[in-house]
Amino acid sequence: MTIRVLVVDDQTLVRTGFRMILEAQPDIEIVGEAGDGVEAVELSQRHQPDVVLMDIRMPRMDGVAATKAITAAQADARVLVLTTFDLDEYVYDALLAGASGFLLKDVGRDDLVAAVRVVAAGEALLAPSITRRLLTDFVGSRASRPDATAAPEVLTAREFDTLTLLAQGLSNPQIAERLVVSEHTVKTHVSNVFHKLGLRDRVHAVIYAYERGIVKPTGS
């Protein structure tokens, strides 16, 4: 299956660089380029890309507003935010707006290609070097209150356990080992958690758990 990508950045050289890297892959097609958020929303509606590579700071409409508009109009759209800052408050807002992850703009060629494929497959992706800092500095500071540690009533006990372990960064195989169940069962629990809580993917499950105090940032 060909992954259709829209590249959004206000710098022409950046867009060209990403295009050259991604178009060299047999399973990736660039369907358009946008220089700001307004154009990104228009081209997304026109081309219905599988993945949108989204810059944050742009004229007319920033990447946060564009992400929110795109994911609201196209439920299955996957937005991968690119930023030059290793801890940018706008990145957290973009995740809340529906982005499926973010990377630094100096990401390596192979990592960029891999990230597009991961996000296109419906998984979420955060740059490992800054995930913990993002959660601690932003999610932790905005977290809800002590009584939020109670399990959401819509979840079963096993689903709540799955959410807790997922938010701690465990993979499906690791969760399966911890809960002593099959990986297939874990996938079912994860799917149920997403559906019942209205979450797009693992990133938003992590944010949900941290904001409600289900999982605490390191050192708190």
Q: What is the pLDDT of residues 88-131, one digit of tens each?
A: 567 778 877 888 888 888 888 998 999 899 888 877 666 555 55
**What is the structure's pLDDT at 201?**
77
Q: Say how far apart CA 208 and CA 211 lie, in whole Å.
A: 5
What CATH code would you report for 138-211?
1.10.10.10
Rounded alpha-carbon distances, angstroms, from residue 60 to 45, 51, 52, 57, 176 = 18, 22, 18, 10, 46
CA 113 to chain CA centroid, nearest Å: 16
Closest CA to 160 of 215, 101, 220, 98: 215
Domain boundaries, the chain: 3-128, 138-211
- Please, is 173 exposed, middle or buried when counting C-beta atoms within 10 Å of its C-beta (0-12, 13-18, 19+)? exposed
Residue of higher predicted confidence among 69 and 147: 69
- Residues 179-210 have pLDDT tens digits of 999 989 999 999 999 889 988 777 778 778 87
3-class SS at 8? strand
From its phi and psi, is residue 219 left (phi > 0), alpha (psi between -120 and 50) or beta? left
Tokens of 121: 């497959």
Domain 3-128, classified CATH 3.30.70.1400, yes or no: no
Tokens of 216: 């605490």
Tokens of 188: 């079912």
pLDDT at residue 24 is higher than 70? yes
Closest CA to 125 of 74, 183, 169: 169
Q: How confident is the model at residue 160 (pLDDT cuts 50, 70, 90)?
A: very high
**What is the structure's pLDDT at 149?**
45
pLDDT at residue 28 is higher than 90? yes
Q: Does this chain's domain 3-128 share its CATH topology with 138-211?
A: no
Long-range contacts of the stretch 39-42 (C-beta < 8 A, 24+): 39/8, 40/6, 40/8, 40/66, 40/70, 41/66, 41/69, 41/70, 41/73
- Are 74 and 41 contacting, i.e. CB atoms less than 8 angstroms apart? no
Residue of higher predicted confidence among 98 and 52: 52
